[in-house]
Structure 1
Amino acid sequence: MSSHVVGAGIQLPANSSRILEELGLLRTVKRASIQPSKLLIRSYRQEKLYEQALNPAIEQKFHYPHLLIHRAALIRILYAEAQSQGATVHFGACVEKVEFSEVPKVELVSGRRYEADLILGADGEHSVCRELLLGRRDPPHSSGDMVFRLFIPISKMSLQPSLAFLVDPLGVHAWYGPNSHAVCYPLPKEGIFNVVLTFPEERDALTIGPQPADLDDIRNRCRKWDPEFQHLLRLADKALKWTLLQTDELETWVHPSGRLALLGDSAHATLPYLYVSFPSFRLQV
């Protein structure tokens, strides 16, 4: 499975670790993860705004750790576990329609049909199942924000003494600017430092799915930011961008027949910075 297809890092707070423990997967996930020591938030002008101990403090308080893992590694673990439990996974199985009869049926674009007792539509923010439940088109719409992702080789950073604090000790670092913010953390098992910036989307700039981004544009947006952050951006050699999408709230996630239910982003696409473990605020500076 290509790491480039499924994104970069994902943070697993204590609640997520608890669920993984209940599934019997926490030990395996921990082996593929790192445990950051702290979260440090700065103003884009360098001022320290907030610091929170993560590990081992989080595990001592909540009994489960805060983890960082590459999405591809997490998906591989979940996929292997699903197979070990008897699940059959079919790739490229695009749903065409669902029949809400006594025995519900799913028909794929290929024409293949499946019968089931219950259908769970966990097909993301571009959900086909959501529209079938509603009986109408309901595409996601722009949140007004654009995300930029940069991957920086940790080997490059190790040659820059002024950036050593970003990778040793391992931690999560954030900068907050005017209507914008950046969240960064290392993924040492993959040898990369993950940088994600969020800015207001420009007019008529809707970008569906990750697309190549102009590094000079990103650096220009941050030209008044912390010099150390600007130094970090200069080490990047490629970047991606996409529009953050959101969906309208539904009255119900379950079809009246009780045979189809939505899960995850198909039911409630959530913006990534509305994250319960970190302060969800933006500085107006």
Structure 2
Amino acid sequence: MGLVQPEDPIHVVIVGAGLGGAACAIACARQGMKVTLFDQAPEFYPLGDSVGFGSNTSRLFKRWGTLYDDMWAISSRAGDTIMRDYDGRVLTVDTTLATAEATYGHKGLIGHRGHYHMIFIEHARKNGVEVRLGNRVERYDETKPSVFLPDGEEVVADVLIAADGVKSAGRLAVLGFEDAPVHSGYACWRAYCDSSIFKDDPLVSPFLERDCLNLWIGPDLHGFVTVIRDGSEINAVLTHKDVGDIAEGWMFPGNREDILEAIHGWDPAFVRVWEKMQNILDWKLVYRPCLDKWVADTGLVALMGDAAHPFLPTSTQGASQAVEDGATLALCLAKAGKGNIPLALHTYFALRYDHVKAAQQIGITQRDKWHNLHDKNTKKMIKTLDTSKGVLDSYWLWAHDAEKAVEDGWEDTSRRVKEEHHL
């Protein structure tokens, strides 16, 4: 059961029930708020491939009831990340996954995005969140505030949170104009399947002996192969340059021949994975710089997650930063109280903006580092790769505690916000 609500709780409407929106709903409900969570999908299924959460979010999950325990039960037991050159030569073995609890206080989590999502929705409901599926929000009224559904229903709340992704309708209410996402110039071929198709394959079957995380880097390309659930499931991702059009969407069937041409001459084991993987998708990586405005002029509508700051997958922090947004919003709303929603939302932005902007940039710098180590013609590595701090530049984010940041920064930041916004 959720926590007991006060007699006149803050009513929070969250639009978008993805990982970030669902996490925000859980966090708000646990602060005693009334939460309505909308999503246009008529039903959720455990779709997708792997996703990782750093220790920065594991510490939050542990505070939110049994959420962490339920996630850990289906998470990878991999203790290291093996980085290889494109030809298969091992460059380094990063043991951060095994040492994260000792270093940061909590383990990182890697698992199936769809399975995690189902757990988030279950916990939202357990905490008393009203989850309304098959309800597409057509527009926002940032003054009441309220949202309107296609059948004309208007739902009035105390605060609206737009967690509806890169195509967010909430951005219009916040910015006052349409702000379309742009293609980043890169895309990911992605596939997830049962690993039984590799059971007797001499090149790939050794990866199935235990949960593992493997990374290959080459000229203008990098790829992951992740094995989870005791070797029973395998996920493959390959990031590549792309000039695709995202006008009508950004998820298309992947062409196996294009993939095999791109990785010709690569590690035979990595090539074999892509020769056999099923259900390949070509995901165009859309992007926009971190918005410098997340809160409507009325102070009653806020953006979070990809609606405010879409992350490239090379940051390995997109889902984690959306969860941190949700945790910060919930605590700011609780501290400000029902009569001070603008103070809560503007303080949320002030506490998060610089941190998120720096985190988002890692997605670009990490990709560029990996993609430019080799001579494009000879494919020989011509730059030294420093892996002394691990394979990811985002590990410094694992030490962050979003809720502690609110506790520590609320007094000074909210005072400054009051002065700046005349609240």
From the CA coordinates, give the structure whose radius of gyration is larger: 2
Instruction: Say if 2:144 is the partner of 1:132.
Output: no
Q: Partners of 1:175 and 1:205 in 2: how far apart?
A: 27
1:230 aligns with 2:271: yes
Name the amino acid aligned to 1:68: I
CA contact (8 A) 2:51 2:113 kept: yes
Say whether the 8 Å CA contact 1:35–1:66 is kept in structure 2: no
* Deviation of the 1:161 alpha carbon: 3.0
The residue aligned with 1:246 is: 287
Alignment partner, residue 221 of structure 1: 262
Question: What stretches of structure 2 of length at least 5 have no aligned partner?
Answer: 1-43, 318-361, 375-423
Match of 1:264 in 2: 305
Instruction: Provide the C-alpha distance between the structure 2 equivalents of 1:47 and 1:174, rounded to a whole number of angstroms.
Output: 11
Indicate how the Cα distance of structure 1 residues 31 and 252 shifts in structure 2: closer, same or farther if over 3 A, else same: same
TM-score (norm 1): 0.91
C-alpha separation between the residues in 2 aligned to 1:213 and 1:79? 30
Residue aligned with 1:161, SS: coil
Q: Distance in 1 between matches of 2:113 and 2:170?
A: 24
Mapping of residues 84-233 of structure 1, within 5 Å? 84-101=126-143, 103-188=144-229, 191-202=232-243, 208-233=249-274
- Write the deviation string for residues 158-202 of structure 1: whole angstroms up to 9, x where unpaired: 212332342333221011111111011013379321001110003
- For the residue of structure 2 that corresponds to 1:167, the secondary structure is helix
Contact 1:147 1:244 in 2 (8 A): yes
Percent identity for Structure 1 against Structure 2: 26
Partner of 2:61: 20
Deviation for aligned residue 1:204:
5.2
Matched, 1:282 2:325: no
Greater percentage in strand:
1
Q: Secondary structure at the match of 2:209?
A: coil
Q: Which runs of 5+ in 1 are unaligned?
A: none
Contact 1:206–1:243 (Cα < 8 Å) also in 2: no
2:45 is aligned to 2
1:72 maps to a residue whose letter is: G
Q: Secondary structure at the match of 1:89?
A: strand
Instruction: Output the CA distance in 2 between the equivalents of 1:18 and 1:194.
Output: 26
Q: Tell me the amino acid that sits aligned with residue 116 of structure 2.
A: L
Contact 1:20 1:26 in 2 (8 A): yes
Query: Are 1:9 and 1:70, in contact at CA under 8 Å, matched by a contact in 2?
Result: yes
Contact 2:82–2:92 under 8 Å retained in 1:
yes
Alpha carbons 1:41, 1:51 under 8 Å: kept:
yes
Q: How far apart are 1:246 and its partner, in Å? A: 0.7
Instruction: Quote the offset at 1:2 in angstroms.
Output: 2.5
Change (3 A) 1:207 1:148: farther
Q: Give 1:59's aligned amino acid.
A: E
RMSD, matched Cα: 2.2
Q: Aligned letter for 1:87?
A: V
Give the structure-2-normalised TM-score.
Answer: 0.63
Cα distance, 1:63 vs structure 2: 2.2
* Whole-angstrom distance in 1 between the partners of 2:204 and 2:243: 31
Deviation at residue 272 of structure 1 after TM alignment: 0.9
| Paired AA for residue 130 in structure 1 | R
Letter aligned with residue 221 of structure 2: S
Secondary structure of 1:268's aligned partner: coil
CA distance in structure 1 between the partners assigned to 2:253 and 2:52 by the alignment: 24
The correspondence of residues 21-36 of structure 1 with structure 2, limited to 5 A, is 21-24=62-65, 25-36=67-78
Distance 2:53 2:83 in 1: 18
Matches within 5 A, 1:37-76: 37-76=79-118
Give, in angstroms, the shift of residue 206 of structure 1.
Answer: 6.8
Aligned equivalents of 1:191, 1:97: Cα separation in 2: 43
In 1, the alpha carbon distance for the partners of 2:230 and 2:214 equals 18
